[in-house]
Amino acid sequence: MLNNLTFDGMGFKHNWLIGFSLFFMVSLSGCLEMKKPVSTTSEKDVSTIQRASGFTVQPMGDYTEIAVSSAWPGSETTFTYALVPKEKLPMITLPADTYDAIVATPVERMVITSTTHIASLEALDALDAIVGFPSTDLISSPAARKRISNGKITELGTNENINTEILLELNPEVVVGFGINSTNKAYETIRKSGVPIVYNGDWTEPTPLGKAEWVKFFAPFFHKEAMADSIFKQIETDYRTAKDLAKNAETKPSVLTGGLYKDVWYVAGGNSWMAKFLQDANADYLWAETEASGSIGLSLEAVLEKGSQADFWFNPSLHATYEELVEANSHYPQFNAFSTRKVFSNAIKKGETGGLLFYELAPQRPDLVLKDLISILHPGLISNHEPVFFMPLQ
């Protein structure tokens, strides 16, 4: 799951499925004999995606095409999916081998595999479509947890070891996959059983607003493109407003990120998601000049040399108190931010079963992340803001 991989300091009916399951299996392997020809590539409209770099959405007349070019870091494959309204399926011919999956819309039964998917679906008022999820304890959303408690979202094991038997019994119309590479035997089993697999790579997106725009990935599955566009425009506006406000700060405090994992200290790279937040919050991030888009592994000595006098320290591993920091490593008190009690963590706010709120909701709400950071780094600059993600250590 995404939650465990990030070091960055940061009513569909059963009888309908039976009637169309054969259709899906055939559509993935060859050309369908249908009455109406598919729209040609020359009829494509311009993709509606502007901030995200890992996917595109293109209206194709009778259906929508989604192309995912960043399913995981370093992916060299672009996956292309056709989303076809259910009432138009009998009238459309799609060429053989053109699409990696064909999905009938609107979707009423969906399996998802990353907590980041939860936030987008909740924003689109589409949580009711989720029928299965691996590692449900990681979900923080109260609304989603209620559905889990009511038995409406089924536990599927882990993303690396999805219980395919249980998943197939749920009769999903589509599985939205999360992957760290191209190898996932469970996905192959699901695909061979006739259930479309579509990859979502929101977590690979390098910028705050780029991640947030992935709400538009989910919108066509539910015919909610206008809603997603409105949601993203508001987030983008609020983010820009907060960024412009931060420019008025009279100081630019220095910032250290991360903490020790075994003997390696992981700080956010200069082109990482967290570093971009700090830049937009008008902070002096000490590793801003590095080129890494993920985390950078350093020795404790190297971090002490460069970051011991930092004004603020964010995300010290998963520690929630100063006592835990001292117990973890006796050198932590040597940092100025420890002495001045200016250490803040995004791992304190959790769901009722221990899921980290930050990794679920922050990608969808970068405006709230930025406001959190500005309120901490520049007290008084933002009025009436209650921190959502970043909490002071106790």
Strand ranges for 79-231 from DSSP E: 79-85, 92-93, 101-105, 110-112, 130-133, 154-155, 157-158, 161-162, 174-177, 197-199
Final residue in a domain of this structure, among 235, 266, 283:
235
Residue pointed to by tokens 């311009």: 46
Q: Are residues 317 and 384 in the same domain?
A: yes
For residue 32, being part of any structural domain is answered with yes
Nearest residue to 216 via CA among 204, 237, 203, 200: 200
For residue 288, being part of any structural domain is answered with yes
Instruction: Name residues whose C-beta falls within 8 Å of residue 176's C-beta, 6 or more positions apart in sequence.
Output: 110, 111, 112, 113, 117, 198, 199, 200, 218
pLDDT for res 383: 83
For residue 242, being part of any structural domain is answered with no
Q: What is the mean pLDDT of the chain?
A: 89
pTM comes to: 0.87
The partner residues of 161 in beta bridges, in order of sequence, read 158
Give pLDDT tens digits for 228-277. Answer: 999 999 999 999 999 999 999 999 999 999 999 999 999 999 999 999 99
Residue 198 tokens read as 């579509």
Q: Are residues 189 and 282 in the same domain?
A: no
Nearest residue to 316 via CA among 285, 287, 343: 343
pLDDT for res 28: 34
pLDDT for 46 beyond 80:
no
Q: Are residues 102 and 174 in the same domain?
A: yes
- Looking at the chain, the whole-number percentage of residues with pLDDT higher than 70 is 88
Q: Are residues 206 and 286 in the same domain?
A: no
Cis ω for the linkage preceding 196 (within 30 of 0): no
Q: Are residues 177 and 292 in the same domain?
A: no
pLDDT for res 47: 76
pLDDT for 90 beyond 50:
yes
Residue pointed to by tokens 């920091």: 325
For residue 286, being part of any structural domain is answered with yes
Q: Are residues 175 and 273 in the same domain?
A: no
Final residue in a domain of this structure, among 212, 235, 258:
235
CATH number of the domain that residue 104 is part of: 3.40.50.1980
Q: Are residues 167 and 312 in the same domain?
A: no
Q: Report how many domains make up the chain.
A: 2
Give pLDDT tens digits for 126-172. Answer: 999 999 999 999 999 999 999 999 999 999 998 888 999 999 999 99
For residue 240, being part of any structural domain is answered with no
Q: Are residues 20 and 139 in the same domain?
A: yes
Q: Are residues 82 and 208 in the same domain?
A: yes
As a whole number, mean pLDDT of residues 321-327 equals 96
Report phi then psi at 119, rounded to 5: -65, -40
For residue 204, being part of any structural domain is answered with yes
Q: Are residues 7 and 121 in the same domain?
A: yes
For residue 46, being part of any structural domain is answered with yes
pLDDT for res 202: 96
State the DSSP code for 317.
T
For residue 155, being part of any structural domain is answered with yes
The partner residues of 162 in beta bridges, in order of sequence, read 157
Nearest residue to 108 via CA among 211, 9, 17: 17
Final residue in a domain of this structure, among 235, 266, 281:
235
Q: Are residues 315 and 212 in the same domain?
A: no
Q: Can you give the residue range of the structural domain that contains 361?
A: 248-392
The partner residues of 65 in beta bridges, in order of sequence, read 58, 82
Residue 37 tokens read as 């020809």
For residues 132 and 127, give the distance between their C-alpha atoms in angstroms, rounded to a whole number.
11
Q: Are residues 202 and 320 in the same domain?
A: no
pLDDT for 196 beyond 90:
yes
